[in-house]
Structure formats: C-alpha cells, structure tokens
Amino acid sequence: MVNLKQFGWRLFQIRVPEDWEMTAEGGGRGRTYIRLEDEQMVRLEVRWDDISPKKEPNVKKSLDSFLNELKERVEKANLKFTRLGLREIEVAGHEGYLYHVRGGGELLGASWYCNDSRRLFVVQVHFRTEEYERMREIFQSLLESVVCHGRKWWTWSVYAFRFELPEEYELYNYRLLSMYGRLSFRSKRDVWYVFAYQGMANVILEERYNGDLKKWFKDAYLKEALKQYSYYKLAEEHRLSLKGHEGRRLIFKPRLSFLKKIVLDSFLWLCDVSNRILVMSVVAPEKVHSVISSEKERVLESFTCH
Ligand SMILES: [Zn+2]
Ligand SMILES: [Zn+2]
C-alpha cells in the first residue's frame, strides 16, 4: 500500500498518495475546482458546486449529466466511452454514487451532496487500465478519509507545507511558484495570517542576503507579501527554536504612534531538511493580538515544514 498524506484546501480534506501535488485550483460562480498530479499524469480532480439554500440537488441526475458531458468529450476525440459501473455508496455520512468509466484512460469517481456545507461534490481519479487494482485501493481509502463538514479547524496544504486555520479565515490571495509561495488569509475581524516559503534557501540567503534571515525577511518577503508594512520598524526580536530549527520572532510596529496600531508578528526559520525558509505572520490591531494569542500558538504549532 502506498503512503498517504493529508491534503486540504478550501474546507475540504482528504488523504492522497505522498507524491500527488496540487497543480491547479480555481473556480468562480459558485464552483471550485482542484487538480492534483504525480510525475506522470493528472491523478485527481475535485469539483464542487455551492448550492443555494432553496435547492436540494439530485445527485444521481447531476452525475448523469456530468458523465454524459464526459462521454461527448471522449467521443469527440474518437475514443470509445464505456460505463463500467455505478453504485450507491456513503461518503462522510452522505449518500452518494460511485462510478467507473473508460474512455482513453480510466476513471473512478464519486459524487455526493454535503447538506452541512451545501456543496455538491464530484471527486475522480485517473489511471491506466493496468493500474486498476492499485487505484481501487487508493480511491477507497481516499473516500474514507473525506472531510467536507463539521470542523472548526481546517487543514491547508501546498507542496509539503501544511497548517491548520479556524474556519472563519478565508483565502484572500496567493502566489504559488516552485521556489516561492505565499498564502494570505483574512477573517471578518480583519485579522490576517500570511504563510510563505522560499526554496533553495541556502543559495538565495548566501548570494543575496549575506546569510541573514532578517535581511531576506525585510527585503524580499515583506516587500512581496506585506508591502504596506514595509516601512514599519522592528520593535522586538527573539531567537527561538521552531520545529527543531533555529528561528526568529520579529515584531514590527508603525513608526508613527498616532497611526492605528497594527502590529505585525512574524515567526520564521530556515528548515535545513527541505532547504526552505518558512514564515508565518499575523497582522492585527495591537489589542487583538492578545485576544488571539492561543489561536496563534495553535496555528504555529500546526505549521509543518518537513
Ligand atoms: Zn459533508
Ligand atoms: Zn523543517
């Protein structure tokens, strides 16, 4: 059996093989789409539609029309489309359907409606016919691991960096490149969490920042991720151990005291196992920082680097 890892994105969690990584995500108009690939091919597609409170969707009917669209696309490419199976299943406590089709490659998929989060899901894995036995097992454990509702804290994961956040935080924007990545979240109370990684850390630190983490933080990270605070002054600096690595806590405050006191509290460290710099910043009015201090600790605790 392959090793599985936790994957989470936009209040949806599953366990997937370790070498599957998210390569696309998007959406709009109440639809979200996520794609994961391994080194060979697309492996997993997850799609959900937000359902308005007045409607109760017919899972079977929408799955039928989804499979009919798929059939049309396959046949347009001059390939034969075959439905190999469809049966009822249960996913995360919801009734749903499991399907198996062939057309070019093969697909095993499932569709269900989560009435708690009001989302209609379609999740499918891609494989070659000779991989069927292995993939059936993987898909089975993947479905058993689905979490689509009922959490206060949710996992977010990208390129082997992972953390948990309370449900109220929404992904505001992000930048994901292989060498640098950053995710920014905002709550309705206007508290911000920013997570970032910098790859090839040893080379980049030596060549551009004199081996100085703080210099990288100010000149690279702050300017990209939190530009509006790049004129803040460093008010406190602490050395501490983070995830077994030597790290820093840097607290930045505005230069002028009559400004609304927004405080920028950051934790950063160099992970020599993954050769990356990791950062977590919390931006909030000064008095809010003490209110969320245990939350902040838990988020930092959940943030893993290797
Ligand atoms: Zn659910
Ligand atoms: Zn590490």
Q: Indicate the pTM of the whole model.
A: 0.92
> In the structure, what pLDDT confidence band is assigned to residue 258 with cuts at 50, 70 and 90?
low
Percent of the chain with pLDDT over 90: 90
Q: Which of the ligands is closest to the CA of residue 306?
A: 2
**Residue percentage of the chain with pLDDT more than 70:** 99
Contact present, 121 and 148 (Cβ < 8 Å): yes
Which ligand is closest to the CA of 48, given by its number?
A: 1
- Note the pLDDT of residue 7: 96
Asked if 206 and 113 sit in the same domain, the reply is no
Q: What's the gap in Å between 92 CA and the centre of ligand 1?
A: 6
Q: Are residues 238 and 262 in the same domain?
A: yes
Last residue of a domain, one of 88, 123, 144: 144
Distance separating alpha carbons of residues 73 and 44, to the nearest angstrom: 18
pLDDT at 257 over 80: no
How high is the pLDDT of residue 104?
Answer: 86
Q: Are residue 35 and residue 108 in the same domain, yes or no?
A: yes
Ligand showing the shortest atom-to-Cα distance for residue 245: 2
Q: Within this chain, do residues 66 and 198 fall inside the same structural domain, yes or no?
A: no
Please report how many Cα atoms fall inside a 13 Å half-sphere around the Cα of residue 74, on the Cβ side.
18
- Expressed in angstroms and rounded, the spacing between residue 5 Cα and the centre of ligand 2 is 17
Query: How far is ligand 2, taken at its centre, from the CA of residue 187, in Å?
Result: 28
Closest CA to 136 of 108, 111, 110: 108
Domain range spanning residue 78? 4-144
> Based on the domain organization, do 56 and 197 belong to the same domain?
no
- The pLDDT mean for the chain works out to 95
Q: What integer pLDDT is reported at residue 2 of this predicted model?
A: 86
* Cα-to-centroid distance, 271 and ligand 2 (Å): 4
Both 65 and 134 in a single domain?
Answer: yes
Q: Where does a domain end: 119, 144, 169?
A: 144
Mean pLDDT of 273-278: 95
Better-scored residue on pLDDT, 160 or 19: 19
Quick check: 89 pLDDT over 90?
yes
Ligand 1 centroid from CA 15, angstroms: 16
Q: How far is the CA of 270 from the centre of ligand 2 (A)?
A: 7
Measured distance CA(214)–CA(237) in Å, rounded: 10
297 shares its domain with 178: yes
Q: Please report which ligand is nearest the Cα atom of 274.
A: 2
Residues 93 and 131 in one domain: yes
- Cα-based angle 35, 37, 41 (whole degrees, multiple of 5): 120
Say how many Å lie between the CA of residue 96 and the centre of ligand 2.
39
State the pLDDT at residue 259.
67
Mean pLDDT across 96-124: 97
Provide the number of structural domains found in the chain. 2
Tell me the CATH number at 134: 3.40.1000.10
Give distance in angstroms: CA of 169 to centre of ligand 2.
Answer: 25
Q: Assess whether 163 and 101 both reside in one domain.
A: no
Q: Is 70 exceeded by the pLDDT of residue 75? A: yes
- Kindly state the tokens that stand for 157: 């994961």
Largest CA distance in the chain: 70
Find the 144 Cα to ligand 1 centroid distance in Å.
12
Ligand having the closest approach to the CA of 11: 1
Residues 136 and 222 in one domain: no
Task: Tell me which residue of 88, 95, 1 sits closest to 57, measured CA to CA.
Answer: 95
Mean pLDDT of 154-171: 92
Mean pLDDT of 101-112: 96
What's the gap in Å between 277 CA and the centre of ligand 2? 9
Same domain, 134 and 158: no
Binned at pLDDT 50, 70 and 90, residue 27 comes out as confident
Q: Are residues 165 and 223 in the same domain?
A: yes
Query: Nearest ligand, CA of residue 118?
Result: 1
- Provide mean pLDDT across the span 68-75: 95
pLDDT at 226: 96
Domain boundary among 144, 168, 191: 144
Q: Could you say which ligand is closest to the alpha carbon of residue 246? A: 2
